Structure 1
Amino acid sequence: MTQPKDLDPYKDARAFYGAELRRLREAAGMSQCEPGERVFCSESYISLCESASRRPKLDMSRALDEVLGSGEHLQRLCRLAQTSKVARYFAEAAELQLQASFIGSYASMLVLGLLQTEAYARALTRAAHPFAAPEVIEGHVRTRMERTSLLDSPAPPVLWVVIHEAAPLLPVGGNAVMSEQLTHLAEQTAARPRLVTQVLPFSAGAHPFLHGSMTLMQFTEAPAAVYTEGAYSGQLVEEPALVEQYRSAYDLARAVALSPEASLDRLVSAAKEFATP
């Protein structure tokens, strides 16, 4: 795997990091697999970092600095490349979503961020940050709304969303906010051919994702990855065997969920219930 020759190192901090990593590696006379063997990462990870397709990690940059004899050069560039509007633990996953050809999501109690309305996102943000200043809340909401533009990109990913039946019943922000959110989700599902929404009913019983949410991202030219998230933290999973375990569990969740047609009816029904005094 090699870095594209037309990568512009001055496009952004991550591209400059990739160009510098490649320059240092070649100056040391190493192939892409050699530094990976010394810092216990794959050749594909080095390739993805050099092509600016992966967000660099500080611990890996520290190890690469040692191997390549570059002092703290890559560590400093890594800190620049990690700058993001979103929470640090979510930043890499947010960037990977922009590159994914398929995004599969499961959420137990909430509507996926890419499909949230502004009022719903604001209610969630206020609940998560009850002591934050109003301008901080609005900053988080703006960032979340900006991310929804992914669905309107020239080549949007296939987005397959599974939500538990509890999510359309939880009155986030009150009845009016929930009615608007569920109507929006139903309308988006009906209007977008690359969006599939399924509701996992209570009757499905226990399942692997009872304790949280997860997002599976698949790419045309890179290994799949999974992002899992809790209230104030998240984790990007890239180990192939574990990613495959998540993918298999997600396939089972889709299999026992309501059909897309029945799911759409359930969302419309729930929206009407919230709209009824």
Structure 2
Amino acid sequence: MEYKKILVPMDFSDCAKNAFNMALEIADRTGASIDLVCVTHLPHLHAEMVGAAAVVQPLLNDYHQLIDEQFEELKQQTDLKNTQVEMSKYNAPLHDAIYSCALQNRSDLIVTGTKSQHDWLVNVLGSNSTDMIDRSKAPVIVVPENSKIKAFRRIGVAIDYSDFGDPELLDPLRTFALLYESSLCFLNVTTKHHKLFVYDDIKVSISDYFKELKQSYHTYTDSRPLNEILLEAIKDLDLDMLFMLPKNHSVVQRLLKTSNTKSMALHIDKPLMTIHEKTLKS
């Protein structure tokens, strides 16, 4: 695949600007254009309500004017080089706006920021970034607020070999890794020691698919929580990014179990790249 259009949700916070800077770096390598999505969500009052338009429209106009001013300021503060940057403004829920913009403009990649600290409610229910992981039809890179990484020397790839068959599902990762000539560290966590040899054929097919890149394979055989193991691997292997494939859980599974990918997005201090399993199989 190619990265031709990158979508960045933008509220002009330091967190969003940091994600924008990473998107610019990727765009500089690929020649991609960038769509900034700016969202407000004023209530749509019933048309029959007297004076509804007179209340909402001036507020919306003022907010859009503020967005335009912030956008111009952002362009002046940033070295855009030869990157084409456009802005779309929506009065809609954030996820609806991003989903619509991604489909209309056929975005190939979403780069979104996430704050370094989350309150208990976000840890339980998730954040805007974690919801994007679940809904997006394009690969998503979640950039922690304090992450300034620009060269992805080593990327960790968390894979469950017992539920993986086609390396071509990792095409978005392959495209990204080739851009940076990254080394790939494939991480497998299992407690089934007796089945390790069964996965040799899968490793061979993965190795062949990523033959242009340096690779290493790491298996962790313990019963600790997956997120704890992955966070330790990021530190021990000096990784600059983690790649994960979120599973297509049922409604019941979502209620009973927290997504490992979403949990990592809230706690990792390095960029996290994901593409949803349901998208790859569609």
Short-chain TM bin: 0.3 to 0.5
More strand, by proportion: 2
Larger RCO (CA under 8 A, 6+ residues apart)? 2
More helix, by proportion: 1
Superposition TM-score, scaled by structure 1 size: 0.38
Superposition TM-score, scaled by structure 2 size: 0.38
